[in-house]
Amino acid sequence: MQNPIWATNPSKSPFWGPTFLDRHCSKLIIQSTRRLSRRRKKGGEREWALRAMPCSSINTTSSSTDDNGALRAFKLSESTFLASLMPKKEIAADRFVEAHPEYDGRGVVIAIFDSGVDPAAAGLQVTSDGKPKILDVLDCTGSGDIDTSTVVKADSDGCLHGASGATLVVNSSWKNPSGEWHVGYKLVYELFTDTLTSRLKKERRKKWDEKHQEVIAEAVKNLDEFDQKHIKVEDAQLKRAREDLQNRVDFLQKQAESYDDKGPIIDAVVWNDGELWRVALDTQSLEDDPGCGKLADFVPLTNYRIERKFGVFSKLDACSCVVNVYDQGNILSIVTDSSPHGTHVAGIATAFHPKEPLLNGVAPGAQIISCKIGDSRLGSMETGTGLTRALIAAVEHKCDLINMSYGEPTMLPDYGRFVDLVNEAVNKHHLIFVSSAGNSGPALSTVGAPGGTTSSIIGVGAYVSPAMAAGAHCVVEPPSEGLEYTWSSRGPTVDGDLGVCISAPGGAVAPVPTWTLQRRMLMNGTSMSSPSACGGIALLISAMKAEGIPVSPYSVRRALENTSVPVGGLPEDKLSTGQGLMQVDKAHGYIQKSRDFPNVWYQIKINEAGKSTSTSRGIYLREASRCHQSTEWTVQVEPKFHDDASNLEQLVPFEECIELHSTERAIVRAPEYLLLTHNGRSFKLQSTWRGPLFRIPITITKPMAVKNQPPIVSFSGMTFLPGHIERKYIEVPLGASWVEATMRTSGFDTCRRFFVDTLQISPLQRPIKWERVATFSSPTAKNFTFAVEGGRTMELAIAQFWSSGIGSHGATNVDFEIVFHGININKEEVVLDGSEAPIRIDAKALLSSEKLAPAAVLNKVRIPYRPIEAKLRALPTDRDKLPSGKQILALTLTYKFKLEDGAEIKPQIPLLNNRIYDTKFESQFYMISDANKRVYAIGDVYPNSSKLPKGEYNLLLHLRHDNVLFLEKMKQLVLFIERNVEDKEAVRLSFFSQPDGPIMGNGAFKSSVLVPGVKESFYVGPPNKDKLPKNISEGSVLLGAISYGVLSFGGEEGGKNPKKNPVSYQISYLVPPNKVDEEKGKGSSQSCTKSVSERLEEEVRDAKIKILGSLKHGTDEERSEWRKLAASLKSEYPKYTPLLAKILEGLVSESNAEDKICHDEEVIDAANEVVCSIDRDELAKYFSLKSDPEDEEAEKMKKKMETTRDQLAEALYQKGLALAEIESLKQGEKAPEAAAAEGTKDVDKTDDQSAPESTQPDLFEENFKELKKWVDIKSSKYGTLWVVRERRCGRLGTALKVLIDMIQDNGEPPKKKLYELKLSLIDEIGWAHLASYERQWMLVRFPPSLPLF
């Protein structure tokens, strides 16, 4: 039952009053009622239905067909069809603009908080009076930000070294007085939507395949020609030559199979021309024609609001882009939309088509700014950062209106950081905020935040008229009258507010971005009703400005609510449609008539007498216990003025006499009058035409009690027509935890689509909602199961979709049966503390007999981490400065974690996760990267699972707020890394009937039958320590699920997996300390035979070598100091291998030597010294014998000899690399054609010979053969030398194969040198398309820096 208290002002008083007015309270008495309404059902059963008394609305007579678009019998003409695609008649916007052509939104600026608006879209270039339509385009999320802090200068030829590594040529006509060019780059797919990226990938793959097939065909041809020339291959060199050709073919085929297009790379250049910051993009990688997309040909752009120009990346993508420069050229924002949604929304509100006026938006004269709040990195999801920056921009641009077609369920209505900022924008800056109510209907209390839950926002429901159904939706037989869309969210909020303010058309065919390759698209949702309402309000503001009427969100909202046309005849329809379908013309008349009244908003705070519960904005009596007795409520009404209201002219004189009305006096009693006063001015009783000044929604549901045994509820003989909704309210029995439901349909011949929702409300939780879309192609039955909370009212909402079955005049018959089940347990969350003790579980069935079949599995590992670093800074740009002048601060926390094996992980921050709107924190954003700065995962309040390979990772968490104290408290914020365990490693727990069962192994508990009222107990045992997942550390937590019951129709398999059972609970296990290694420390070391002086000398020697290894080689001075110490130590310990190995290591680390050949010769000499210091015969003899692992001295010797062998191998390896580099530098690089053919030449060479032939001994080959004696040359550690050897011999295909094997076998993060070597081999062979592909991947694997937040 929905019973508003509404208040009118019967007085016309010139006295306005203060915001600090003493609070005035009134009492409401809500009486107990036996029933709300009762209808006789077939078979004599009674059912309870929601009924409410009508809510009065002044100056709103019964609607005509012109008022709400309800056309009972009509035929579309071409003009009415076009008009239905962009509905305006329904809200009387067409009549209003026809009567007032200059009030079409002119002078009004709307901020579109959405996924971004395409400035190239149809109808979004100019307004009806010729002004620019889009004043600014902003990416408030940061998803398009590029770090352009790197500054370079052009050479004499005008060339720059781009951030991607490409050489860029600047246009000589570009002015740049400083000569400084800021450079950055972006993977273009990061700017595109998934849909656009998918299209581009298909087109690029097609072209890539064409080039690749040519290369494969050539490689196969070379192999075939070789086979024809050498029918019988016995010579070793010929075998290697053929193997090389085969390896090339294999490599190309594998590349085709593993192709993964990460997208083209665009280089960005930013500079200051002396007046403005300019931007140019190099998009050659997007173009097929190598002459297109060059940096010098790009028409420079500047911040959009200055020149209002945009660019297009290429003809292939047809994607528009806008640029904005921040922080003195150090940050470039490239703005693209993250979905077509925002452009569609902007088109509904403001599109102007001079040649197609019927397709105009509601307010074609209005201007807009586009504030992108949908983050492209998150698939167009909003972020706290985007929302805050958007509000800052709306205030800065002095916008009149905000439209936001975004939102989600919330735990706390009218609460949170964003709500606080919205309140400031509305109350202080007079912004009118319009937002969608949500698409989660048809159940009640499904309105989303912020639109349906925030007092200062006008929440809009979605309405469909017969004309819209016939035209936009192409329904053959439209409904006889307009109705709310089935999925439109309903009120009230959990604190009793109405939720939906007004309704507007919720579908349209509107402009979409050019990259969609179409001009318009049909979309429906409250996302569409919100801009329709927003456009209608823009018409009102346009009129108010033209007529000199002060614009206030308070007066506009009151006019809308008091002139709307009711939709539907039931009081409960108020919860669906709000006050009804808005009417622009009537609202305008109301505003004109009330122009001299104060702009005041009445804040309502309600408390139940005698209770200390928090205040609410309405009264919502939902639970069965609330209907058993009368209750008394205190209503506090406080007038609120805008922050800039004058104390003397508006606040002090304010005084109003309020007359209170109850729409159902039998249920709600209230005082008749209320005087809101400050100075006690007199008043006269008149002006009742103003209608309600404020409303107090009172919603009462009386659920039916379930008294049957077993607890079964049946609703039989329900009949449905399109759009019909049946709501049933049931008091879920105490002890129930799940429902098994059956829905049977009959009496129809065409397909039927139903929405089946259930909803319960529990304190400090989001509404507990279960939903299904059930499609019946023929009369049949469907089974459902879902969890419930015992003792709370459950709404069952069954709705036939508004357009389902239209044209078929027969009704659908539905029978719905609900069976409640439940097993009550004493511990909803089971925590195993790591000991060997089991946990006792007490189980009891309160309703009926239930099968008790416990099942538990641990399949996740959660590890806590604290940050290793915390950096707090003020954000540098004005886009992060609040309207109050406060600069937003950012706290960046760094966490480190390691994965011993590849795994799927998810970061969890319990304090912050899963809340965007109902949180006092502004925003969070994280990115996970490896040692190479490659980003593997990003996320915000809703973290996603990401698959990561083995390795070490950094997680950076970015937190924002303007209050430094809040951020300081979070510098040691605990974060959890949650890792999924593979099924084969998941731990399934056992159950016992005895407490000693886990140790003794007896008394296993399998299943039982619970008899109502009889408690049964059993134990859940801890996991077997030997079966814990590998690589799990002390202090970690194993997480999983435990269930107790099974579905009656689930079969035997249902009980084995807790998640497949109807209700499961969390179970956790704290991993205890590892068992002590019994062998550790066993057996004391034998007495040392060395004297104290000898041991001291060794310690001193090793300390000197350690110091040598710690010295840096960055500058000439540092290198000189290092060399002096190295020479001194070498003279002191000339044959000590560890010292010589350390000297070699130091020389190798000097990678920036100017004279490469000289440096390589030094490396060779140092390597020879290491080799000469080792007795290789003795080493070989040792490894030919087996050592005794039980002999401690033998084990020590083994470790020493292995170390010596590794030092020998490393010396030979480095010597080989140096020899190859000297040879390459002296001979110069071979032509690619010669290198590619090298594998088929010189077939008479022996295996010991290298290319080219020489009478001199081949030092490289000799060194290579020596290295092969000691180590596996194929290992990732030494394989590079094998690659070099194959390359010297011209066998580039084999070199590639060896290199690929090394890369795949290497478990560490990818090494850049290996991929650079791969790229050079591909370049040398001449596979240009593969080289381009690899270069793009290089910037993915090895970016120069982390992206910006």
Q: What share of the chain is helix, strand, coil (3-state, %, to 5)?
A: 30, 25, 45
The whole-angstrom separation of Cα 467 and Cα 480 is 10
- Amino acid letter for position 1244: D
Structure tokens at 1241: 């030449």
Structure tokens at 839: 């946990």
- Amino acid letter for position 73: A
DSSP 8-class letter at 1140: H
Residue 369 has phi, psi (to 5 degrees) of -120, 140
Residue 707 CB: number of other CB atoms within 10 A? 8
Sheet holding 781-787, edge to edge: 712-720, 812-821, 738-746, 781-787
The whole-angstrom separation of Cα 62 and Cα 580 is 12
Q: Is 397 a catalytic residue?
A: no
Choice among 341, 429, 588, 678 that is catalytic: 341
470 exposed, middle or buried (CB, 10 Å; 0-12, 13-18, 19+)? buried
Q: Is 527 a catalytic residue?
A: yes
For residue 370, what is the enclosing H or E element? strand 367-372
Q: Which residue has 């009065």 as its token pair?
A: 56
Cis omega (within 30 of 0) on the bond before 492? yes
For residue 39, what is the enclosing H or E element? strand 38-40
User: 3-class DSSP state for residue 793?
Assistant: strand
Q: Which residue has 């080959």 as its token pair?
A: 1261
The whole-angstrom separation of Cα 1163 and Cα 1140 is 11
- Amino acid letter for position 1306: N
Please give the distance of CA 418 from its chain centroid, rounded to a whole number.
18
Per DSSP, the residues of 532-566 read HHHHHHHHHHHHHHHTTPPP-HHHHHHHHHHHPBP
1040 exposed, middle or buried (CB, 10 Å; 0-12, 13-18, 19+)? buried
Whole-Å CA distances, 543 to 358, 591, 1019: 21, 10, 74
Task: Using alpha carbons, select from 336, 333, 313 the residue that is nearest to residue 324.
Answer: 333
Residue 193 CB: number of other CB atoms within 10 A? 24
Query: 347 near 360, Cβ under 8 Å?
Result: no
Structure tokens at 215: 């290369």
Alpha helices, DSSP H, located in 903-1025: 964-968, 997-1000
Residue 227 has phi, psi (to 5 degrees) of -65, -35
User: 3-class DSSP state for residue 938?
Assistant: strand
The whole-angstrom separation of Cα 582 and Cα 460 is 10
Query: 478 near 723, Cβ under 8 Å?
Result: no
Q: Is 114 a catalytic residue?
A: yes
Residue 1339 CB: number of other CB atoms within 10 A? 18
Query: 979 near 905, Cβ under 8 Å?
Result: yes
The whole-angstrom separation of Cα 1062 and Cα 785 is 7
The whole-angstrom separation of Cα 536 and Cα 756 is 33
Half-sphere exposure of 718 (CA within 13 A, CB side): 23
The whole-angstrom separation of Cα 746 and Cα 743 is 10
Residue 509 has phi, psi (to 5 degrees) of -100, 105
Choice among 67, 94, 114, 962 that is catalytic: 114
Choice among 26, 527, 804, 1036 that is catalytic: 527
Query: 827 near 841, Cβ under 8 Å?
Result: yes
Q: Which residue has 């080289």 as its token pair?
A: 1331
Catalytic residues, by residue number, are 114, 341, 527
